[in-house]
Amino acid sequence: MDLQSSIAITISFLIFSFSQAQNPQIFHGEFGPFNETYYGIFEVEQPATISNSALQITPDSINGNFTLANRSGRVLFNRSFILWEDGGVGGERVASFNSSFLINIFRVNNSEPGEGFAFLIAPDTELPENSHGQYLGLTNSTTDSNPSNGVVAIELDTVKQEFDPDDNHMGLNIHSVISRNTVSLVDLGIEIAPVGGKNHMVWVHYDGNSKIMEAYMAEEGKGKPATPALTAELNLKDHVRQKSYFGFAASTGSNFQLNCVLKWNLTVEMLSDPEANGSGRDKKKLIKICVGIGVALFSFLLIGVGSLVYYLHRKRAASDPKLLRALQSLPGMPREFQFKDLKKATNNFDEKHKLGQGGFGVVYKGMLPKENIQVAVKKFSRDNIKGQDDFLSELTVINRLRHKHLVRLLGWCHKNGMLLLVYDYMPNGSLDNHLFHEDEENTILGWNLRYKIISGVASALHYLHNEYDQTVVHRDLKASNIMLDSEFNARLGDFGLARALENEKTSYAELEGVPGTLGYIAPECFHTGKATRESDVYGFGAVVLEVVCGQRPWTKIGGFQFLVDWVWSLHREGRLLEAVDERLDHEYAADEAQRLLLLGLACSHPIANERPKTQAIFQIISGSVPAPPVPPFRPAFVWPAAAGGMDFDASSADTTPMTSGWTPQYISRESGGAERYTDSPVSPVG
Ligand SMILES: *[C@@H]1O[C@H](CO)[C@@H](O)[C@H](O)[C@H]1NC(C)=O
Ligand SMILES: *[C@@H]1O[C@H](CO)[C@@H](O)[C@H](O)[C@H]1NC(C)=O
Ligand SMILES: *[C@@H]1O[C@H](CO)[C@@H](O)[C@H](O)[C@H]1NC(C)=O
Ligand SMILES: *[C@@H]1O[C@H](CO)[C@@H](O)[C@H](O)[C@H]1NC(C)=O
Ligand SMILES: *[C@@H]1O[C@H](CO)[C@@H](O)[C@H](O)[C@H]1NC(C)=O
Ligand SMILES: *[C@@H]1O[C@H](CO)[C@@H](O)[C@H](O)[C@H]1NC(C)=O
Ligand SMILES: *[C@@H]1O[C@H](CO)[C@@H](O)[C@H](O)[C@H]1NC(C)=O
Ligand SMILES: *[C@@H]1O[C@H](CO)[C@@H](O)[C@H](O)[C@H]1NC(C)=O
Ligand SMILES: *[C@@H]1O[C@H](CO)[C@@H](O)[C@H](O)[C@H]1NC(C)=O
């Protein structure tokens, strides 16, 4: 485990979270003095290193490798920023940023310095080959001047090429080492690499509204000059990739210098959260979907996403680097894997090994060679680990959850800010696959298996909600999260993670997942943004109907927008069993189907209080308690829920309230945030 890198990440994200809390649209990082921990959050392109409390953008003479001539390197903050947005509702927008850094460009043995150093915005973290000498680690002889470089830089050049004014100048470089603007620093009394050495401060300001870039430079301690050394008009949108990285590049030639960064501050306006994928494609997709669903739901969704985002931001906890150490010493923690072993196990995260892509990252199939067992390795996308400490504390909870209907967590790995979780491999994939992707191998799931799967899910849910001293809310119950082991037992995956990974990609806001998630989300979640046991039960109801009917929750069917409404109408008309999947060809137990359909409807009650609790669900499935009475019309959704909870339509006033008889001893409402039950747990059967 690279503890140090995690500390560094913690530090930087602490800063990040802090500034987010104050102003959600600004990223602010203060980096340095530098030590190895920064390898975790910076992409250090060799031969660049971090040593002597500095980023050595080209090799350092005291680093044991004296090849100082003809080298180039890059160090970039390993996190991209959205630097501009296309038209659309808000019109074109370009991000503003400020950066300041303390540098030491040092001539070795007082020899002539070379070649130069640059502050850089780049589309990726790769160092171009052969970018030494005049290319400053920015371009090379093939790529120079090519607009596809996506490179904008402020150079500090110590060698005069034929296109340069002198050997001590600052320049604005766009895709090319031939600067668009240059200014000699001689008149400002600045020598970039003076004999004897000096530290300099550089400030680069960019205003995305006026589209002006300014760069200032002064000797350390002299303060920021009143006027910039270089001012240039520049629309970043025309030159850099939408998602770009910030950092430094430098090179040496036959003459060489040390290119050291001692401290670095970076402030970037966040146009849209990178995770929210505010790109046109997704927006368009979303709009399309929402038009389909209806304007009303669309605004529901917006309110929901908004309040969820607000809620998550508020709830983001402070970071605690100690936690990691504590975690490592915890007995019974899942095992920590070496990154290289997981890399090997998945054949370097080969696309061919990809099992799927969830809300939080990509899952790969792997083979642990020593143990000779198959595993599923979930690789979290980097931006997901903002709430790292929450994640780790959640991991301790997840780890203590042991149930035969939960996918078992085998271990974890944390490397350079990247998190990986290792789970038991589920040979039969997801329920979703078996219900909807019949192919040569997947024959249609028979009734008994369907019943067994639902029963397993109920058992897992009951366990999560009640049996562990701390209630765990799944939040993301849906067919694609229900895995099937070799005997087609249901195993819930991804439990508890949503709470830990507090970011905009949790289930409700996962824009990409809108069509795949909508029918599973309880209506109140769009108001509260908060997942509860009741909202889990709602998701469970959607899964039950999906499994029995063989239709997705959001299927438009029989003139209804959602599966649940159609089933409800059949119930009203006394034709409930017509909802059962036709592909079963009447091969099912009618009493069981009736029971599950009624249960599915009861769980889909728009009012959270009225949904059955997991214990009742369990009893209904096991047949020990009769199916719940369900009113003929689906009750209206009321927000906020009226006190007392009974909000049935007038049309259903003559029916028995759904609560009667089958939600017995459960004390229910949770108070505040402490989601705890006080009654004694009940062991799941089966
Ligand atoms: C490295 O730097 C970070 C941040 O400045 C600091 O918290 C940490 O203690 C340093 N680690 C070492 C080994 O010096
Ligand atoms: C020094 O740099 C050269 C050129 O990249 C490399 O081949 C060599 O392995 C390095 N030596 C050490 C000791 O790092
Ligand atoms: C950058 O600095 C200038 C001057 O200090 C300030 O007016 C501006 O708001 C800053 N921009 C950002 C994005 O921090
Ligand atoms: C970074 O910002 C802090 C405070 O905001 C300031 O004290 C420090 O001098 C700055 N460092 C650099 C390198 O700009
Ligand atoms: C600098 O000078 C010292 C002593 O003169 C010598 O040993 C060293 O190799 C020189 N370093 C370089 C990089 O030329
Ligand atoms: C320049 O860099 C590109 C990309 O790194 C590479 O494909 C190309 O071969 C390089 N050109 C030279 C002359 O090295
Ligand atoms: C650096 O490379 C240039 C050609 O790109 C070559 O002429 C020169 O000899 C090299 N210098 C050293 C010290 O290797
Ligand atoms: C964001 O967009 C990229 C490419 O357009 C895509 O690969 C990625 O899955 C998207 N992520 C989300 C959360 O939409
Ligand atoms: C930087 O981030 C990229 C993409 O998230 C990842 O592939 C790479 O391993 C990271 N590198 C380091 C040093 O963290």
pLDDT tens-digit readout, 540-575: 999 999 999 999 998 889 888 889 999 999 999 999
How many alpha carbons fall within 13 Å on the CB side of residue 243?
12
Q: Check whether 363 has a pLDDT greater than 70.
A: yes
Residue 149 in tokens? 């470089």
Mean pLDDT of 167-176: 95
Phi, psi of 510, rounded to the nearest 5 degrees: -70, 90
List CB contacts of 427: < 8 A, sequence separation 6 or more.
374, 485, 486
Is 365 in the same domain as 447?
Answer: no
Q: Is the CB of 512 under 6 A from ligand 8?
A: yes
Is 41 in the same domain as 183?
Answer: yes
8 A C-beta contact, residue 83 and residue 152:
no
CA distance 518 to 538: 11
Mean pLDDT of 660-681: 26
| pLDDT, tens digit, 9 for 90 and up, residues 620-629 | 999 998 998 9
Collapsed DSSP state (helix, strand, coil) of residue 545: helix
110 lies in a domain? yes
Mean pLDDT of 328-348: 76
395 versus 365: which is more confidently predicted? Answer: 365
pLDDT value of residue 228: 95
Is 608 in the same domain as 562?
Answer: yes
Least confident range from 106-110, 511-515, 666-670: namely: 666-670
CATH of the domain at 381: 3.30.200.20
Beta bridge partners of 199: 104
Size (the chain), residues: 686
Mean pLDDT of 75-90: 82
Is 325 in the same domain as 295?
Answer: no
8 A C-beta contact, residue 113 and residue 256:
yes
Mean pLDDT of the chain: 76
Q: Check whether 477 has a pLDDT greater than 70.
A: yes
pLDDT value of residue 394: 60
Is 455 in the same domain as 542?
Answer: yes
pLDDT value of residue 286: 46
Q: How far is the CA of 37 from the centre of ligand 1 (A)?
A: 7
pLDDT value of residue 6: 35
Number of structural domains the chain divides into: 4
**First vs last C-alpha separation in the chain:** 39
678 lies in a domain? no
CA distance 81 to 243: 5
8 A C-beta contact, residue 268 and residue 95:
yes
Beta bridge partners of 28: 267
Nearest CA to ligand 4 atom 10: 265
According to DSSP H, which parts of 173-294 are helical? 280-293
pLDDT value of residue 62: 66
Query: Candidates 6, 78, 346: which one to mutate for ligand 9, based on the most atoms within 8 Å of Cβ?
Result: 78
Least confident range from 365-369, 447-451, 475-479: namely: 475-479
CATH of the domain at 251: 2.60.120.200
8 A C-beta contact, residue 470 and residue 559:
no
560 versus 475: which is more confidently predicted? Answer: 560
Q: Is the CB of 384 under 6 A from ligand 3?
A: no
CATH of the domain at 509: 1.10.510.10
- Residue 294: pLDDT band by 50, 70, 90 thresholds? very low
CA distance 414 to 408: 18
| pLDDT, tens digit, 9 for 90 and up, residues 246-289 | 999 999 999 999 999 999 999 999 886 444 444 444 444 444 44
Active site residues: 476
676 lies in a domain? no
Q: Check whether 84 has a pLDDT greater than 50.
A: yes
Collapsed DSSP state (helix, strand, coil) of residue 286: helix
Q: Check whether 358 has a pLDDT greater than 80.
A: no
Tell which of 424, 443, 459 closes a domain: 424
Residue 498 in tokens? 């949503």
CA distances from 494 to 111, 355, 429, 472, 562 (A): 60, 14, 14, 11, 25
> What distance separates the 2 farthest-apart alpha carbons in the chain?
96
Mean pLDDT of 154-170: 94
Q: What is the per-residue burial (b if ≥16 Cβ within 10 Å, else e) of 539-573?
A: bbbbbbbbbbbbbbbbbebeeebbbbbbbbbbbbe
Is 385 in the same domain as 449?
Answer: no
255 lies in a domain? yes
Is 496 in the same domain as 355?
Answer: no
Query: Candidates 207, 212, 213: which one to mutate for ligand 3, based on the most atoms within 8 Å of Cβ?
Result: 207
- Residue 500: pLDDT band by 50, 70, 90 thresholds? very low
Residue 211 in tokens? 């589209």
Q: How far is the CA of 331 from the centre of ligand 8 (A)?
A: 38
Beta bridge partners of 30: 265
8 A C-beta contact, residue 363 and residue 380:
no
Beta strands 97-107; 257-269: pairing state: antiparallel
Q: Residue 222 annotated as binding?
A: no
Q: Is the CB of 100 under 6 A from ligand 4?
A: yes
- The winner for highest mean pLDDT among 287-291, 398-402, 671-675 is 398-402
Nearest CA to ligand 6 atom 11: 142
Q: Which atom of ligand 7 is nearest to the CA of 70?
A: 1
Beta strands 335-336; 409-415: pairing state: parallel
Q: Check whether 388 has a pLDDT greater than 60.
A: no
Q: Which atom of ligand 7 is nearest to the CA of 69?
A: 13
Mean pLDDT of 350-355: 86
Phi, psi of 365, rounded to the nearest 5 degrees: -90, 140
Least confident range from 13-27, 491-505, 616-630: namely: 13-27
Is 402 in the same domain as 516?
Answer: no
20 lies in a domain? no
Mean pLDDT of 121-143: 95
Report residues whose beta carbon is within 6 angstroms of any ligand 6 atom: 128-130, 140-143
Is 372 in the same domain as 248?
Answer: no
pLDDT value of residue 314: 35
Q: Which atom of ligand 9 is nearest to the CA of 5?
A: 14
Is 373 in the same domain as 457?
Answer: no
Q: Is the CB of 205 under 6 A from ligand 4?
A: no
| Closest CA relative to residue 6, chosen from 360, 396, 412, 322 | 322
Q: How far is the CA of 36 from the centre of ligand 9 (A)?
A: 16
540 lies in a domain? yes
| pLDDT, tens digit, 9 for 90 and up, residues 411-428 | 878 776 677 888 888 888
8 lies in a domain? no
According to DSSP H, which parts of 252-319 are helical? 280-293, 295-315
Note the pTM of the prediction, 2 decimals: 0.50
Residue 125 in tokens? 């973290």
CA distance 126 to 211: 27
Show the domain range for 385.
Answer: 321-424
pLDDT value of residue 86: 78
8 A C-beta contact, residue 510 and residue 517:
yes
Is 75 in the same domain as 147?
Answer: yes
Beta bridge partners of 418: 415
Residue 460 in tokens? 């897992």
CA distance 359 to 376: 16
Q: How far is the CA of 5 from the centre of ligand 1 (A)?
A: 9
CA distance 404 to 424: 12
| pLDDT, tens digit, 9 for 90 and up, residues 52-80 | 899 999 998 766 656 899 999 999 999 89
Nearest CA to ligand 9 atom 11: 43
Is 232 in the same domain as 145?
Answer: yes
Place of tokens 């889990």: 536
Mean pLDDT of 372-376: 87
| pLDDT, tens digit, 9 for 90 and up, residues 432-459 | 888 887 665 667 889 999 999 999 999 9
Phi, psi of 51, rounded to the nearest 5 degrees: -160, 165
CA distances from 565 to 421, 630, 682 (A): 38, 13, 33
Mean pLDDT of 103-119: 93
Residue type, 114: G
Q: How far is the CA of 281 from the centre of ligand 8 (A)?
A: 9
Nearest CA to ligand 8 atom 12: 277
123 lies in a domain? yes
CA distances from 595 to 7, 111, 460, 629 (A): 53, 87, 19, 10
Query: Candidates 241, 281, 282, 354: which one to mutate for ligand 8, based on the most atoms within 8 Å of Cβ?
Result: 282
pLDDT value of residue 292: 44
- Residue 235: pLDDT band by 50, 70, 90 thresholds? very high
